[in-house]
Structure 1
């Protein structure tokens, strides 16, 4: 299944050079074609019913893109966003068990240091990781389903969470420091897309 999912993903960075040089569209027309596409992103998130999820995308240059928050229902949540904004997409999770205001948001770690695309990552392995990327590589496919694991943890004696992809996904830099595998940030994650 992991191979099928990974094969289905088409990173935006792989678009260049997929056609013979004589048939390649001008960069501006290629960008316009990608801009016109939408992608349905379905996140399968078990054991987190009612958790609030927000997808955001920021490359440090273009304005921040953000979906409206949506709650996990029946173990999943689906968003429709422009395909061009899936490159550098980050996912924020607000767990139901965190009931007091916190200074930092929980983000999904798409790849941990030392893991290759397609590697399986369990809870124990995730908790051992010190660096992670919360920036997904993106796709131009009309629909993609991604699995995310969310588990209760504590941080400084307070309820918190760790969220990660149990099958390592394509990602873009940077790799950020984690707190025992939990990717936390007090701001939108800035993703470095190749230009």
Structure 2
């Protein structure tokens, strides 16, 4: 996944994507059109989530879940909700996981902009899904996915390894991600 944070570059990426139409987010209203490109994930859904500590609890916000069609999904979200957010993914092939797959935006030892291959991702053990966010009205994000066997609720099942092939700016601590697979039972608190 490559997050392109300039409007011009995002427009060029979207134009190159063909039929993907990215709504023009209202910059004055503080909105971001998050265009997610995911190959080999037809029928998957993606959702942006943010959890912010408030007093003695946590305030949770979630975007609408959007289906991946033609390898693409566009989420129209308030820009302020992107800071310290995670992108979750549900794939039609997943078994009873006991968690929701989270897109890893950084693996341990990788710096912003560093490429992460499928082989590297499969060998990782620690990751974060906490994205630093953006104030841009349009952002294009590339996510790679692979089916993999994971420990499910009642034994081995098919799960998903989902990551950005280019390390993103992140927030929050790294956590366990066996075989590069990151998942959450609750929303990650990234701040």
Same fold (TM over 0.5): yes
Equivalent residue number for residue 21 of structure 2? none
Equivalent residue number for residue 130 of structure 2? 135
Q: Residue 71 of structure 1 is aligned with which of 43, 50, 67?
A: 67
Gap regions ≥5 residues in structure 1 = 10-33
1:1-46: CA deviations, max 9, x gaps?
x6x926x39xxxxxxxxxxxxxxxxxxxxxxxx9940001011000
Paired residues, number: 164
Q: Residue 88 of structure 1 is aligned with which of 71, 81, 84?
A: 84
Deviation at 1:69, TM superposition (A): 1.1
Q: How does 1:117-132 map to 2 (within 5 A)?
A: 117-132=112-127
Provide the TM-score with structure 1 as the length reference. Answer: 0.79
Gap regions ≥5 residues in structure 2 = 8-26
2:150 matches 1:151? no
Deviation at 1:102, TM superposition (A): 2.5
Provide the TM-score with structure 2 as the length reference. Answer: 0.80
Q: Secondary structure at the match of 2:33?
A: strand
Deviation at 1:47, TM superposition (A): 0.4
Greater gyration radius: 1
Higher strand share: 2
CA distance in 2, matches of 1:178, 1:59: 22
Q: Is the 8 A contact 1:35 1:83 kept in 2?
A: no
Q: Secondary structure at the match of 1:140?
A: coil
Q: Residue 103 of structure 2 is aligned with which of 80, 100, 108?
A: 108
